[in-house]
Amino acid sequence: MTATTAKVRSAMAESGATTSQPPRSSVPSYLVAGVLFYGAVGWLLDQWLGTRFLVAAGVLLGGGLGTYMMIVQLRRQTAAEQAQVSTTSSTTSNKTSNEESE
């Protein structure tokens, strides 16, 4: 099991894929999906209840929640990138100090 894990980690390191998080370019899809989903829920509730304001409420709610999800995802990705950079820089500095001590 550990040999398989090592192979997977080395393959991820070679490909540059260090996390299972989506790329930054897909983050705006949270906003679009939120507006469409909650707008559709509002429209269905409007049809069912005979009202006319729930579509607007759904679109606004979806926009707010989509924006919130975008911010959360971007913060996670930024934190993961900073952790990766700090890990890489500490590994590089350790290699350099080991070479200097020899």
pLDDT value at 99 more than 60? no
pTM score of the predicted model: 0.63
Cβ atoms of 99 and 67 within 8 Å: the answer is no
Residue in this structure with the two tokens 């934190």, named with its chain if needed? 79
Find the helix packing angle between 29-49 and 54-101, rounded to 10°.
160
pLDDT of residue 94: 59
pLDDT of residue 27: 84
53-69 pLDDT per residue, tens = 999 999 999 999 999 99
Q: Is the dihedral of CA 11, 13, 16, 17 positive or negative?
A: positive
12-39 pLDDT per residue, tens = 666 655 556 667 778 889 999 999 999 9
Write out the H or E segment, with its range, that includes residue 89: helix 54-101
pLDDT of residue 39: 97
